[in-house]
């Protein structure tokens, strides 16, 4: 009896959550191309200004890793976006024959206004100035959000 119940639970489909990755809105993989356009535009902007800003300090090789946004499955509104970064500083001491590395990661929240549609976000942040463009419904750009994070 217990085994039969466990088999039924294992065979039952998992309940769908209320949010999905933006790449999977409105269906699995359907938003991949549009989201990639936005992410590439933001990464290009970051790479362009990094040497004069964020990459001047201890982590001169700072890299943008991934941008992820959670989207309401029902309404297509953005709940939150996090952009991850990694950087390191390596050195060799004069008395220690082994190099040392100080590595770090960051998860930077983009201040998306509640109720912002994914379509509005994708449209707003796809051009050559995406990093400096204010997020929908705000006067805050992704660049400004990163200055508070990195």
Q: In this predicted model, what pLDDT tens digit does every residue of 60-107 receive, in sequence order?
A: 889 999 999 999 999 999 999 999 999 998 889 888 788 999 999 999
| Rounded CA separation 95/111 (Å) | 46
- For the chain, the average pLDDT equals 89
| Rounded CA separation 62/47 (Å) | 9
Q: Is the pLDDT of residue 8 over 70?
A: no
| Radius of gyration, CA atoms only, the chain | 20
């Amino acid at each position: 009896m217990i085994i039969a119940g466990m088999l039924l639970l294992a065979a039952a489909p998992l309940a769908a959550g209320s949010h999905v990755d933006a790449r999977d809105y409105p269906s699995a993989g359907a938003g991949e191309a549009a989201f990639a356009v936005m992410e590439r535009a933001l990464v290009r902007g970051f790479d362009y200004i990094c040497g004069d800003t964020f990459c001047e300090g201890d982590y001169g090789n700072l890299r943008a890793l991934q941008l992820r946004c959670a989207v309401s499955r029902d309404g297509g509104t953005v709940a939150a976006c996090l952009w991850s970064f990694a950087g390191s500083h390596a050195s060799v001491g004069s008395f220690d024959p082994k190099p040392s590395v100080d590595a770090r990661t960051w998860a930077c929240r983009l201040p998306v206004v509640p109720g912002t549609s994914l379509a509005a976000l994708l449209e707003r942040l796809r051009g050559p100035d995406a990093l400096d463009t204010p997020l929908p419904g705000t006067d805050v750009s992704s660049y400004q959000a990163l200055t508070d994070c990195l």
